[in-house]
């Protein structure tokens, strides 16, 4: 069967021609790359990718098809998907449909057949930037203009597009702890980790007020991952600031960044971000190196945090950026990466145990 043409154009004028897969149409987004060799289904459904067109650096994607168990949210969250080659004949006993059929059913525009290595090297040099995938308008100059007019990640509230509409509970039967989880775009496996450790998790929308969260009488508060620029969310920063010191707090990804801002720090945009399941992080408290799952384009400036209040606990070994912190006397800690490891290595699952220990200790005080 003859494939339809597709074009990926970047705002700086770089253009890649390939073939359409998934849904036809046209979609803009910030073009980024992910270095994971597996876990494309978890990548597609991670709400932290809202507003972004994701390029997979591993050349063959779709080998194991798509199943119902590995979704990290109800549907794909990426704006578009870029691969070197999409596998048309997956082989896995759990596979329910092909990647192509899944993207088509979920109306996600994809492009394959381009040089993803060249695209990745370009982004590493020039930085992540706005782009557009189209199977309709194939004129490079027109597409470049559309990319330049599309929304930026900086200064925009992307959380509103991915947070839950109403509070809901996860975890059946008697549970030892109750956790209020602020949903900035939370992955399902985070809730699974908490539930498996004896937590009844009440997930609340991102805009929930601090007094409403505390009225749930939680044993701890979890600040989830999510998309976009943390500095563009002053209402969420204020909410985090209001619950500081009231209950044990564990934050990851966007939750970590909001916590850093609430404690007086600053954030900045990374040139091309950290996205993949192979990011080395050093735990400064024990000297061990963890291989971590990451997905973020912004970072807390470690030099901006008040040293008298905040201890730096984890550092990225690739660029020495901040990966973890802990308040020196309040029951509060956070990491930039994704310890729920879906998909990816499980080196950092101990952080959920530390949260349980913190809630246990605080309940006795």
Nearest Cα residue to 331 out of 205, 246, 240: 246
**Size (the chain), residues:** 365
| Cα angle 97-73-274, degrees, rounded to a multiple of 5 | 100
Helix (H) or strand (E) holding 259, with range, is helix 254-262
112, 199, 253, 299: the catalytic one is 253
Catalytic residue list contains 340: yes
Under 8 Å between Cβ of 219 and 365: no
A 10 A CB-CB count for 157 gives 15
Catalytic residue list contains 290: no
Under 8 Å between Cβ of 220 and 248: yes
Catalytic residue list contains 338: yes
Pairing assessment for the beta strands 85-86 and 60-61 based on DSSP bridges: parallel
Residue 266 in tokens: 């600053």
122, 193, 274, 338: the catalytic one is 338
A 10 A CB-CB count for 220 gives 23
Q: What is the CA radius of gyration of the chain?
A: 20
Where in the sequence numbering do the catalytic residues fall?
Answer: 253, 338, 340
């Amino acid at each position: 069967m003859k494939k339809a043409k597709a074009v990926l154009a970047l705002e700086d004028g770089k253009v890649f021609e390939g073939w359409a897969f998934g849904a036809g149409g046209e979609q803009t987004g910030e073009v980024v790359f992910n270095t994971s060799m597996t876990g494309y289904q978890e990548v597609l459904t991670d709400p932290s990718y809202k507003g972004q067109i994701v390029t997979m650096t591993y050349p063959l994607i779709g080998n194991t098809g798509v199943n119902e168990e590995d979704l990290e949210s109800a549907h794909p969250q990426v704006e578009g998907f870029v691969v070197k080659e999409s596998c048309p004949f997956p082989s896995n006993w759990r596979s329910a449909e092909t990647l192509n059929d899944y993207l088509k059913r979920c109306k996600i525009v994809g492009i394959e057949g381009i040089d993803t290595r060249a695209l990745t090297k370009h982004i590493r040099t020039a930085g992540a930037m706005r782009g557009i995938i189209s199977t309709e308008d194939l004129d490079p100059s027109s597409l470049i203009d559309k990319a330049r007019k599309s929304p930026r990640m900086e200064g925009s509230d992307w959380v509103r597009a991915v947070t839950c509409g109403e509070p809901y509970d996860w975890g059946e039967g008697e549970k030892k702890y109750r956790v209020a989880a602020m949903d900035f775009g939370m992955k399902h496996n985070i809730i699974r980790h908490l539930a498996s450790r004896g937590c009844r998790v009440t997930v609340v929308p991102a805009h929930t007020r601090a007094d409403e969260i505390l009225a749930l009488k939680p044993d701890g508060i979890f600040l989830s991952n999510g998309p976009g620029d943390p500095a563009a969310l002053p209402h969420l920063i204020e909410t985090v600031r209001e619950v500081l010191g009231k209950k044990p707090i564990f934050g990851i990804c966007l939750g970590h960044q909001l916590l850093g801002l609430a404690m007086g720090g600053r954030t900045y945009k990374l040139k091309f971000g950290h996205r993949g399941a192979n990011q080395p992080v050093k735990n400064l408290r024990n000297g061990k190196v963890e291989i971590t799952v990451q997905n973020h384009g912004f970072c807390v400036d470690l030099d901006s945090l008040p040293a008298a209040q905040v201890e730096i606990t984890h550092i990225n070994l690739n660029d020495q950026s901040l990966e973890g912190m802990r308040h020196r006397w309040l029951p509060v800690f956070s990491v930039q990466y994704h310890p729920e490891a879906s998909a990816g290595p499980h080196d950092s699952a101990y952080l959920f145990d530390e949260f349980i220990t913190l809630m246990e200790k605080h309940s006795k005080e």
